Amino acid sequence: MQSASAVREPSPVPASTGHPKGLYVLFATEMWERFSYYGMRALLSLYMLKALLMNKEMSSLIYGNYTSLVYLTPLLGGYMADRYWGNRRSILVGGLLMAAGQFALFFSASMYGAGQTEVPQAQLLLFFIGLGCLIFGNGFFKPNISSMVGSLYPKGDSRIDAAYTIFYMGINLGAFFSPLVCGTLGDTGNPADFKWGFLAAGIGMLIGSLTFELLKNKYVITAEGTPLGAKPERTVEHSPVVPVQTDGPVRAETIARPAKSFASKLPMLIGLFVVVYAAIAWLMNRDWIGALVFSAMIVAPVTILTDPTLTAREKQKIYVIFILSFFVIFFWGTFEQAGASLTFFADEQTDRTLGSSVVPASYFQSANALFIIVFAPIFAVLWTWMGKRGTEPSSPLKMSISLMLMAVGYLIIAFGVKGVDANTKVSMFWLITMYMVHTFAELCLSPIGLALVNKLAPARFASLLMAVWFLATAAGNKLAGVLSGLYPPGPAEFAKATKEGIDLPAILNGTTPATADVTTKLAGLELTSNWPSFLGFQITTLYDFFMIFVGLSAVASLILFVLYKRLNTMMAEPVAAA
């Protein structure tokens, strides 16, 4: 889950100590939306495995596609709001679309039949319709509600920092409680119960939308009493804009760009995108969504760097953003295992016994939000304390530290499973400790990165550069799905093969040859006769799997550590002559 930061006016104006009631309307609306999103996400991979009968590779692929597209559609939603609908209508449309998506998942899960061996097409269709509604609904909802917080206050109001903190707590409260509620209802061990978790998520989304719709006219207003987020007035002299979108409580803005120079480059950019898209789709074995995300990551920087108005100094700052965006892909690619491979691990190979009860696997997705609520204020104080003493790390160094903390987190859980048989469950201590360390990593990167982009981006490219930053997040989420698909076969796969009289461990280890008949049976069960591999490295145990994330994060961290002083120099403003 992402935290957020914002760059705001430095000159505070006198203000009362209280906050507008509209802030608490937005707080409640966002809290329920996050309740809906994270409650559904806590069940998503488990539902695909246990009710839709998908294997881990397919579940991971769909999970990565879903979460990556969630970071792309806010660009569309923000543009529609800025140009046509306004914040209010966009939030209502987005909220209703997401509620419809949750209810589509509810109806999909309601079609599950006990002991079914084949999934009805209608169940699958409703599932994908639900995901589509959630993706586009998030695009319309998320950026627009975040953008309204700062507008509640007069420009330069000293209360605005506290307002963003309060709003941010709404995000994390929703993210903390939702896996507990939806997990209790849906993750019971009986696949037929998933529908109740999705229903709770849908009801939560409706509560959030209803709260906003009933109270917006009275409370979501400016300091002067005028409504916020109304339909924008269109004027012919305005140039096309690209909106800044955020996934946190950051004030969104639109920066006008010269339309003429962009229009002249459009045919070249379209041609470049088509070529890059085709090449990446071929390399990724026709993974169209992955090709879309990674192609956008390549073409967007080219769009900016080919602008002839950029000065050498501006290009230098933009290069810093691009370099750090590249490393962000590895951060989110490892961090976002929470909803995929780490959920598999919590479900199958974590001892979740607590007293006389068994903790649902979905509960563990509350850990990150809880640790953020506890440790975010501590990190804020720490950076302030170090800043006063001149020892605060620079932003690139903080990101290097963040990646190393990701490596440490996975190293902890890798040692927890080292030498452990696939049928043996390990203490939940390992998983909880890893989540805590990963939260420290998030607090060193996510808010830092958002503030850095705002600081370094030339005003006329602020929107597009923020889009590049979130494209990196989308690419990281897609990478997370790809890497999660490398999760090695375990007890669930072995049991499925055993029912068909197949000794899968023996076949995987090469002690028993896989005949053509056995290979056909395994394919029908969506199982493979080979261990997964990564860059020639065979993954036969969970220790091997987790060490991939240790290696990726540590190498990225070390490379960034080597570069950070150079990046500091590129970011620094030249000292004026005396």
pLDDT digits (tens, 9 = 90+) for 103-116: 999 999 999 998 88
**93 pLDDT band (50/70/90 cuts)?**
very high
For residue 514, is pLDDT > 50? yes
Q: Identify which has the larger pLDDT, 99 or 141.
A: 99
Contacts of 83 (CB under 8 A, 6+ apart): 232, 234, 241
Mean pLDDT, rounded, for 273-296: 88
Provide the residue type at 129 as one letter. Answer: I
Single-letter amino acid code for the residue at 413: I
Q: Per-residue pLDDT tens for 521-573?
A: 888 888 888 899 998 899 999 999 999 999 999 999 999 999 999 999 998 86
Q: Is 328 helix (H, G, I), strand (E, B) or coil?
A: helix
Say whether pLDDT at 426 is over 60.
yes
For residues 347 and 219, membership in a common domain is answered with no
- C-alpha angle with apex 55: 347 to 116, nearest 5 degrees? 90
In terms of domains, do 214 and 329 share one? Answer: no
CATH number for position 75:
1.20.1250.20
Q: Do 145 and 209 belong to one domain? A: yes
| pLDDT confidence band for 14 (50 / 70 / 90) | very low
Lowest pLDDT segment from 37-46, 71-80, 187-196, 249-258: 249-258
Q: Is pLDDT above 90 for 84?
A: no
| pLDDT tens figures, 151-208 | 787 776 667 666 766 777 778 899 999 999 999 999 999 999 999 999 999 999 999 9
The Cα-based distances of 17 to 163, 167, 541 in angstroms read: 11, 16, 56
User: Which three-class secondary structure state does DSSP give residue 538?
Assistant: strand
For the cut 60, the answer to whether the pLDDT of residue 15 exceeds it is no
Which segment of 221-230, 429-438, 506-515 scores lowest on mean pLDDT?
Answer: 221-230
Q: Of the given ranges (56-60, 258-262, 516-520), which has the lowest mean pLDDT? A: 258-262
**Cross-strand bridge partners of residue 507:** none
What confidence score (pLDDT) does residue 52 get? Answer: 95
Per-residue pLDDT at 235 exceeds 60 = no
Helix (H, G, I), strand (E, B) or coil at 533: strand
- Bigger pLDDT: 490 vs 256: 490
* Predicted local confidence at residue 500, as pLDDT: 85
The DSSP element (H or E) to which 361 belongs, if any, is none
With cut-offs at 50, 70 and 90, classify the pLDDT of residue 73. confident
Q: What is the pLDDT of residue 66?
A: 95
Please state the rounded mean pLDDT for residues 34-60: 94
**Gap between the Cα atoms of 279 and 284, Å rounded:** 9
Single out the residue in 231, 253, 278 at which a domain terminates.
231
- Whole-number percent of the chain with pLDDT over 90: 47
Tell me what percent of the residues of the chain surpass a pLDDT of 70: 88
Examine the domain organization and report whether 221 and 360 are in the same domain. no
Domain check: are 410 and 513 in the same one?
Answer: no
What local confidence, expressed as pLDDT, does residue 177 receive?
Answer: 94
By the 8 A CB rule, do 52 and 457 touch?
A: no
pLDDT at residue 253, as a whole number:
37
Residue 357 sits in the same domain as residue 436? yes
Mean pLDDT in residue range 381-391? 88
Residue 249, pLDDT score = 39
| Band (371; pLDDT cuts 50, 70, 90) | very high
Query: Is 381 domain-assigned?
Result: yes
pLDDT averaged over every residue in the chain: 85
| Selection from 198, 193, 51 nearest residue 120 by Cα | 51
Range of the domain at 502: 497-530
Helix (H) or strand (E) holding 255: strand 254-256
Indicate whether this model's pTM tops 0.75: yes
- Residue ending a domain, among 188, 205, 231, is 231
Q: Are residues 193 and 337 in the same domain?
A: no
Domain boundary among 231, 258, 290: 231
pLDDT bin (cut points 50, 70, 90) of residue 241 is very low
* Residue 262: predicted pLDDT: 56
Same domain, 417 and 553: yes
Within a domain: 247:
no
In a domain, 209, yes or no: yes
Alpha-carbon gap, residue 341 to 493, rounded angstroms: 14
- Number of neighbours of residue 98 by Cβ within 10 angstroms: 32
Q: Is the pLDDT of residue 465 over 60?
A: yes
Q: How many domains does the chain have?
A: 3
**Residue 246 pLDDT exceeds 80:** no
Q: Please give the sequence-ordered ranges of beta strands (E in DSSP) within 31-162, or none if there are none.
A: none
pLDDT of residue 227: 79
Burial of 425 (0-12, 13-18, 19+ CB in 10 A): middle
Tell whether 253 is covered by a domain: no
Does any domain span residue 149? yes
Q: pLDDT-derived band of residue 142, with 50, 70 and 90 as boundaries? A: confident
pLDDT-derived band at 126, boundaries 50, 70, 90: very high
Three-class SS state of 488? coil
If asked whether residues 429 and 501 sit together in one domain, one would say no
Looking at the structure, tell me whether residues 519 and 546 fall in a common domain.
no
Two tokens, residue 139:
């695009």
- Domain membership flag for residue 291: no
Quote the pLDDT of residue 575. Answer: 52
- Confidence (pLDDT) at 158: 65
Same-domain pairing of 427 and 519: no
Query: What secondary structure letter does DSSP report for 537?
Result: E
**31 occurs within a structural domain:** yes
Query: Do 517 and 555 reside in the same domain of the chain?
Result: no
Residue 296 within a domain: no
Q: Is 424 left (phi over 0), alpha (psi -120 to 50) or beta?
A: beta
For residue 162, the model assigns a pLDDT of 65
pLDDT band of residue 447 (cuts 50, 70, 90) is confident
